[in-house]
Structures are given as structure tokens and as C-alpha cells.
Amino acid sequence: MRTYHTQMEAAKKGIITKEIAAVAKKESMEPEKLRELVACGQVAIPANINHTSLSPEGIGTGLKTKINVNLGISGDCKNYDVEMQKVDMALRFGAEAIMDLSNYGKTNTFRQELIAKSPAMIGTVPMYDAIGYLEKDLLEISAKDFLKVVEAHAKEGVDFMTIHAGINRRAVEGFRREGRVMNIVSRGGSLLFAWMEMTGNENPFYEYYDEVLEILREYDVTISLGDALRPGCLDDSTDAGQIGELIELGSLTKRAWEKDVQVMVEGPGHMAMNEIAANMALQKRLCHNAPFYVLGPLVTDIAPGYDHITSAIGGAIAAASGADFLCYVTPAEHLRLPDISDVKEGIIASKIAAHAADIAKGVPHARDLDNQMAHARQKMDWDEMFRVAIDGEKAKAYFESTPPADRHTCSMCGKMCAVRTTNLILEGKKVEFCSEK
């Protein structure tokens, strides 16, 4: 019989849940240490009580950097089969989280199938689904209507939800006063801003925040506090709007913890490389070391078609500087809904960024695979190299596309391979080229 509502409540009571035990094993951490981190909010384990297929993961202090994959149907792309193929791709490459951002029609059929099959944690943005779920236009939706969508997603088994509760009237005043090039680029944030302006009301997720928390607590849904005022271009980064909202998110974090609701805080956005580390430190300070979930940051605005690379650069710096959770970005960012190829490119880029950051942070065992790769390369063991690689199939296809005359080398250097030459000399053999048949 479960004697607690949430992982945080259990941890505060000194209980090591099966989810805490599972995460501790994955992370090579003592369960008691992890319990303490969950109890104080520095680690979140998103695990809805109705997500029975979940393989739990921890996000936060001292743990491996996790990645999230966004997918879902839109009005222009309604193929559920293709979206489920993207799910399979995400699971195959080890994404720890999948966010269903569907915003067209009745999305619950796809979401329920996703939750039933996915061992990865599932996230949503209820604001996206409100119009389709309620079958009302934005102006017709009441404050309490929004809470109905939150409850529906929670019942279905969603592990974490992005709730844009920080864009209240104070934050909007700061945004208007400061002025921006790109204004509001958060989809959920822009919809809430529009609703607030058209109705004259306060943000319903802020006004009824305690009721939102009660819903989330009942199903142990982690709240991911959305950054509605994240910068959408370099020129808007670290401005009054972004920082003003972050201050509000810090207050909302403490209120959630008081209700035993687990919290993640979302962050930028677009940001020059020299600002990233300071932003990570500022977030951790203002939000009391809650886990930080970043989109990018994209470090330049001029690379459409290559934004998986601009995001991976920023994500690696962000995670090495304290971010805990990276949202992938695909080459299709800013251009169209990503196809399956785009999804793969985005996942791999994000996995590289997360892994590089874990090495920099000294996460236990982060370097193990790199050491295995180094030994395989020294021995010219191609099969082992392909096994260890993040995308071994692509590595093998590249190698075999221009096969070398001698399998102990690749076609770049051939018999002049530096590793081959050094190995021969250290084995007491001659290095010969012209006389070899």
C-alpha cells in the first residue's frame, strides 16, 4: 500500500521508493544520497503513478545529463504513424524523455498509446492541447477550463508538464517596458499572453497555482516551469523579461516543494556562448538548485538547417555549467516539422552534447565508453569501435563506403596510418611501403 503521493513526499519521510532505488542503481549513487537530493528538490524523478511502462530516470544534481525529444502532430502534418516511428527512433537511441507537443484535434489517442509503450518519461504542454481538447476558441476558454486539460493529461499518465505559470502580470509589465526584437517566442507563453490581454485576467496557471499543484500531486506529475519569456534571438538574451520571469519561477518552485510536487525549471533559448555559464549559475541561485531544463541554447541565429549544431554547442556549455536536462533541436528548427531523419540528427547532436558535459562535470563512469573507444582504436578493432559508437551503424556505413585495401586501416591514411606505424615500431617490426605487396 503506497503511503505517499509523490517521490518528494516519500523522500522527505525517509522512504527509498522503488523508483529512487532504480535511479540510484543506474547512476552508481548510494540510494540514501539520492533520497536526500529528491527530498530537497535538487533531483526530480518524474514518474506518474499511471505510467506503468516507465523505466524511471533522475534529473538533477550529480546525475547524468538527460535529453528530451519533442514530437507530435500539427494541423499541417497529421500522420500518427510517422510520429510513432519518431518515438521508436527516440527509444532506440536512448532518449530519456519524449514530449508530445501535439496541437491538432483529439490528441489523447496518440498520447495514451505513447504512454502505454514508452519506458521513457513523457511530457506535455497542456496549453497546446487546450483548444483541441475543449473544442473552444482561445477567448472562449475560462481559467478553470485550462485546469481541466491539466487533470486530463495527469490521469492519462503524463510524467511531467510544462506549465507557463511565471508569465504573470508583473512579468508582462517588465516585458512591455523593456521591449524586444523577437517579443515572445514560446508557443504556450504567447497563447497565455494573448488570453491575458484579450480577457484582462491574470494568468490562470498563476492565479490558480495551488489548484494546479493539487492535481499534479495526486498523480505525482513533475511540474516543468515554462520560460514563456525565453529569448528568441541573441539580442534578447539575459534581458529584464527573461530574468524577471526567472525570479517568479524561483518563488513558484518553493511553493511547489511545499506541496511535495517535484519541479524542473526551463531556460533559454538563444544566447551567446559567453553568457551561458552566468545564466546557469543565476538560475540555480534564483531557483534554489532545482533541476534546470534548457532548449539549446542556440549560440547563433544565422544557421537555419543546422540548428542541431548550434544547439549542441550551447547545450554542451550549459550542461557543463550546471544544466541537467537538454531538449533536443533538429535541423528543421525554425523551418518545418522535423521528419524522421531530422529527429535522428537532433537526438545524436543532443546526446553528444550531454555526454561531453558529463565528462566535463566528472559524472561517475561518464568516460568509460571513451576509454573503450580509445583501446579499440589502438588495436584497430573496427567491430568494437562500431559497438561503442553512439551511432555505430552510421560509423560502419562510412567505413565500408570506401573500403581500405588493408582492414587494419581506413581509406583516409591507408598504410600511412599513424596508429599502424606506431604499433609496428613498438612491436619491433619494420615500417615499409614500397616493398610491401
Binding residues for [4Fe-4S] cluster: 410, 413, 417
- Find all residues with CB under 8 Å of 39, minimum gap 6, and list them: 8, 11, 12
Q: How far apart are CA 44 and CA 61, in angstroms?
A: 9
* Alpha helices per DSSP H over 118-186: 126-134, 143-156, 169-178
Q: Residue written as cell 565528462?
A: 359
In terms of Cα–Cα distance, which of 238, 290, 245 is closest to 269?
238
Q: How far apart are CA 111 and CA 103, in angstroms?
A: 12
Q: By the 8 A CB rule, do 319 and 276 touch?
A: no
Q: By the 8 A CB rule, do 152 and 190 touch?
A: no
Pull the grid cell for residue 33: 544520497
Other CB atoms within 10 A of residue 53 CB: 13
Q: How far apart are CA 306 and CA 304, in angstroms?
A: 5
Q: Residue written as cell 540510494?
A: 31
Q: How far apart are CA 129 and CA 102, in angstroms?
A: 7
- Quote the Cα angle for 388-392-397, to 5°: 145
Binding residues for Zn(2+): 270, 334
Task: Identify the DSSP state of 310.
Answer: H
Estimate the crossing angle of helix 143-156 against helix 108-117, to 10 degrees: 30
- In our burial notation (b when 16+ CB lie closer than 10 A, e otherwise), range 195-224 reads bbeeeeeebbbbebbebbbebbbebbbbbb
Q: How far apart are CA 350 and CA 69, in angstroms?
A: 9
Binding residues: 70, 99, 128, 164, 186-188, 227-230, 266, 270, 293, 334, 410, 413, 417
Q: Residue written as cell 498509446?
A: 113
For the chain, the first-to-last Cα distance in angstroms comes to: 74
Other CB atoms within 10 A of residue 125 CB: 26
> In what helix (H) or strand (E) does residue 327 lie, and over which residues does it extend?
strand 325-327
Binding residues for substrate: 70, 99, 128, 164, 186-188, 227-230, 266, 293
- Quote the Cα angle for 120-125-126, to 5°: 120
